[in-house]
Amino acid sequence: MGRNVEKEIPRLLFDWYRTNRRDLPWRGTKDPYRTWVAEIMLQQTRVDTVIPYYERFLKRFPDVRALARAREDDVLKAWENLGYYSRARHLSEAARIVVERFGGSIPSTMEGLRALPGVGAYTAGAILSIAFGRPIAAVDGNVIRVIARLFGIEDSIARPGTRKKIGEIVRRLVPTEEPGHFNEALMDLGSGICTPRRPACPACPLSAACLALARGIQASLPARDKAAALPRREASVAVIRDGGGRVLLVKRPRRGLLGGLWRFPGAEGKEARALRSALKKQQGLDVVVGKEIFTVEHAYSHFSVTVHVFDCRLRAGTPQARPVPARWVATGGTARLALSKLERMILQRLKNPRDRARTLPRG
């Protein structure tokens, strides 16, 4: 594609964007905090899913100082079921850094933003272009798809060299005037027109310049390496009840999968012996592992798991606050705790009379 054609791309895109831009709650603001929260939430998450979370989150944490003051547990609770919980932990940690190191002002430089937990090149580019008007590229999945098709790039986008090439192209295209709108327009084009499947090429403002369309290969781009099958795992969890029928939950470590959320105590694998050993190690509890009540199937981004849920009886020991925090919770009284979708699925099954575990006495 010639440089003269490239120069026309921003104008064509802006003409389309003025009448087709999405009306989103984070649009129309220059507040870098709001842009930051929106961009973190939008990572690997659909816009329609994010909107209600974004609005509730800002009501609870209206500025960076409010977020910095909040307990991490409260931030995780506000994030509940939005997934990829490391994003929430990073937001909480970064807010404290902004207050302590930057006086409560979101950094306005690439270096300053990249120093914050959870802020990568894309998020920093989005904040700088949208909130600060800097002519910096923001390259997300939608933009990668648009550019790969527009410039007929047939190499796999999984390769670093391909992504670097696309980033260089976008940097050439970003105008000095309204760079934030340009980045948002590219995102909107990828989301609504240049979609992963069945792109609406006749409605695209850039169709005359699109090399993939000219070659008839738009449906096969962007190219990807063949995805490996998701590995399958098995795990077991214990439903332990006290004399009042409450169940025991423990808190996950801050780092790692679903860090900081509450869960049923458990172990890898489906063997009763491994579950009993894990409970002894985690909480110093001696339990009798009873019958398997049911199983739950769940898929994460990088693996799927079959969880075997066991009815267990506490024979000796008292749940300790250290090293793993634990508490007894009524199955209907978890509203204040941040739980994963998997835990809520298990709780829902336990509330169902057909699946409810029998409460066993201690001893």
Provide the pLDDT for residue 100.
97
- Which entry of 6, 39, 100, 178 is annotated as an active-site residue? 39
pTM: 0.82
Q: Is 8 a catalytic site residue? A: no
Q: What percent of the chain has pLDDT over 90?
A: 75
Q: Which two tokens stand for residue 156?
A: 């796999």
Residues 244-271: pLDDT tens digits? Answer: 889 999 998 877 788 889 999 999 999 9
More confident site: 337 or 58: 58
What's the 3-state SS for the chain? CCHHHHHHHHHHHHHHHHHHCCCCCCCCCCCHHHHHHHHHHHCCCCHHHHHHHHHHHHHHCCCHHHHHHCCHHHHHHHHCCCCCCHHHHHHHHHHHHHHHHHCCCCCCCHHHHHCCCCCCHHHHHHHHHHHHCCCCCCCCHHHHHHHHHHCCCCCCCCCHHHHHHHHHHHHHHCCCCCHHHHHHHHHHHHHHCCCCCCCCHHHCCCHHHCHHHHHCCHHHCCCCCCCCCCCEEEEEEEEEECCCCCEEEEECCCCCCCCCCEECCEEECCCHHHHHHHHHHHHCCEEEEEEEEEEEEEECCCCEEEEEEEEEEEEECCCCCCCCCEEEECCCCCCCCCECHHHHHHHHHHHCCCCCCCCCCCC
Q: How confident is the model at residue 357 (pLDDT cuts 50, 70, 90)?
A: very low
Q: Which two tokens stand for residue 183?
A: 């980045």
Residues 156-191: pLDDT tens digits? Answer: 999 999 999 999 999 999 999 999 999 999 999 999
Q: What is the dihedral of CA 189, 193, 195, 200, to 10 degrees?
A: -150
pLDDT over 70 (residue 358): no
Domains, in order of start, for the chain = 3-220 (1.10.340.30), 232-351 (3.90.79.10)
